[in-house]
Amino acid sequence: MRAIAGHTLRESLRRRVFVVVGVLSAVFLALYAWGASEAFDSVPDLGGRELLEARTFAGAVLLGLSMFATLFLGAVLAIFLTAGAVRGDAERSLLQPLVVRPPGRTQLLLARFAAAGGVAGAYALGMYALSVAITAAAGGWLPDHVVLPGLGLALGVVVIAALSLLGSVFLSVTANGIAAFMLLGAGLTAGLLGEIGEAVGSESLQTAARTAAWAVPFEALYQASLHALTSESSGLTGVVLRLGPFGGAQGAGPQLWLWTIVYVGLVLWMACAAFARRDL
Amino acid sequence: MPDPGRAGAADAALDVRGLSKSYGTRPALAEVDLRVEAGELVGLLGPNGAGKSTLTKVACGLVAPTSGGAQVCGWPAGAAPARRSLGYLAETFRFPGWATGNELLEFHQALAQSPGGDLERSEALEAVGLADAANVRVEAMSKGMQQRLGIAQALLGSPRLLLLDEPTSALDPAGRRVVRDLLERQRSRGVSVLLNSHLLSEVELVCDRVVILSGGRVVTQGRPSDLTRPRGVEVQTANGVRRFDAASREDAPRLVAELVSAGEAIYGVQVLTSTLEEVYLDAVEGAGP
């Protein structure tokens, strides 16, 4: 299993996937640092201090935006590392020589997941940590919970890797990539609709959002991560920040984390079961 | 009733029984029985679409049978011990272009759980004539070199059964000779080989037995010498070549004696038999579409 995961990572390294991701991430972080610095310099103009905790507002919005970008980039990485894992590699005749070796299909699939999920999760965690550090350096602001949002983002990206891997058993690379990105978009849209539903008092929208959160828990994890940034904030600041960027903040209990772990296990089990029956 | 969970020295390297496979409504194999004994080199022949690759894939566990089954060294095809016992080269395969020959073999060694290390890799590369290409990237190799590398990876882990699907299709005559020698060496070590090939002359040269598939069924099988039939006797005389179509090997001394007594000078005698190609064409055409 270690050999297969190592082979997957070495392939990404040799194909310069990590170089491209690293350069683009560095550009993003540089722009983020510049934007954060400018935003915090303008904080006194954002609103009256008596109504809104301006630095908290600026820091949470900036970090929330960075988390959205991190979720998206992490999802891109996870999807690119897994989209062609089964059918794509089989169609290119890369998979067959590996499947006939003793480790077999289940180990092969789990190793691919470990490599992709590990890299994408670590990437999300690293990007979040750097964003927090930049935000703290630029404005002297730290989120109420520093570690939890990062773990939520990382786990969300791991969920996307698992879903993309499941899709790779049935779909060609292009179709699976499109499906995975549409799922990502649908999940984020469902979260946003849930916030709108809460704002306008629509029970059906909230039910749809809750259902989507169970069906694709990366969205619920993202919302919970946003919520954890300012979960201790109260008053107008707390109310305003609940309507975060690209889907609102929504707290979640430990059952979300538990469900996510069970969910990933179920998705991988389905992927392994389907792969075991597939003629190559 | 043999215990399918236990493998022993007496087990055939490959034992296929009543194997059928359909892709949807299209049958690819129908009730195929085939046995490859330890140290035996069997050629699998047949026209395109006859089911040769499907049979090999079932033996590897890449394709699930519709009915019947196969055992590799006493283990059900596809089970981990069966996969550990075989080396496989697919008809169409690709290795990652970024890896060097040595890196690719190292990866397959790890997958095969082979403790062979550097020595096994260098021996495998040398066996296929790629000793100087260990550090060449796959993407820089010619198609023939990649095919040789594919054969080298199949040798890793000391398999008891080699399943080679068109292993020489991209090779030049010298490369085919290298592979022929390699297969003979493997046979002398007790390794069994199932060789899928369209190159009948090659199969005739190297295989102990041939099995001809057509339309998913075994239409004939046996030793090449047993499958061929007499086609007469040719005698070179001072007056030209005399051909006796109805004569057999046993008739040759009598024919020579008669010609000599008739005053003919004899320069050579050749007993004619049909070629494997003729046997193949008869079998395939006789089997119908």
Q: Do B61 and A92 touch (CB under 8 A)?
A: no
Nearest to B96 among A94, A103, A280 (CB): A94
Q: Do A101 and B83 touch (CB under 8 A)?
A: yes
Q: Do A97 and B95 touch (CB under 8 A)?
A: yes
Q: Is A104 on the interface with B (CB under 8 A)?
A: yes
- Chain A residues 11-40 within an 8 A CB cutoff of chain B: 11, 14-15
Q: Do A104 and B110 touch (CB under 8 A)?
A: no
pLDDT value of position A249:
64
Q: Do B111 and A98 touch (CB under 8 A)?
A: yes
pLDDT at A274 over 70: yes
Q: Is B75 on the interface with A (CB under 8 A)?
A: no
Say yes or no: ipTM exceeds 0.85. no
Residue of B92, B107, B163 to mutate when probing chain A, most A C-beta within 10 A: B107
Q: What residues of A are in contact with residue B93 (Cβ under 8 Å)? A: 93, 96-97
What chain B residue is nearest to A2 in terms of C-alpha separation?
B110
pLDDT value of position A99:
93
Q: What residues of B are in contact with residue A95 (Cβ under 8 Å)? A: none
Q: Residue A106 has what DSSP assignment?
A: H
Q: Do A14 and B98 touch (CB under 8 A)?
A: yes
User: Which tens digit of pLDDT belongs to each residue from B82-134?
Assistant: 999 999 999 989 999 999 999 999 999 999 999 989 999 999 999 999 999 99
How far is residue A30 CA from its own chain's centroid? Answer: 21
Average pLDDT score over residue span A169-188: 94
Cβ neighbours for B206, distance < 8 A, ≥ 6 positions apart: B41, B43, B180, B183, B184, B195
Low-confidence residues in chain B, pLDDT < 70: 1-10, 287-289
pLDDT at A206 over 80: yes
Q: Do B63 and A279 touch (CB under 8 A)?
A: yes
What chain A residue is nearest to B98 in terms of C-alpha separation?
A14
User: Which tens digit of pLDDT belongs to each residue from A216-246?
Assistant: 999 889 988 988 887 776 666 666 666 555 4
Q: Is A86 on the interface with B (CB under 8 A)?
A: no
Inter-residue long-range contacts of B131-140, CB under 8 Å, 24+ positions, other chains counted: B133/B101, B134/B100, B134/B101, B134/B102, B135/B100, B135/B101, B135/B102, B136/B100, B136/B101, B137/B97, B137/B98, B137/B99, B137/B100, B138/B95, B138/B96, B138/B97, B138/B98, B138/B99, B138/B100, B138/B101, B138/B104, B139/B97, B139/B98
pLDDT value of position B69:
92
User: Which tens digit of pLDDT belongs to each residue from A86-131?
Assistant: 999 999 999 999 999 999 899 999 999 999 999 999 999 999 999 9
Q: Is A273 on the interface with B (CB under 8 A)?
A: no
When divided into structural domains, chain A yields a total of 1
What residues make up the domain containing A171?
A: 2-276
A52 confidence band (pLDDT: 50, 70, 90) = low
Q: What residues of A are in contact with residue B107 (Cβ under 8 Å)? A: 3, 7
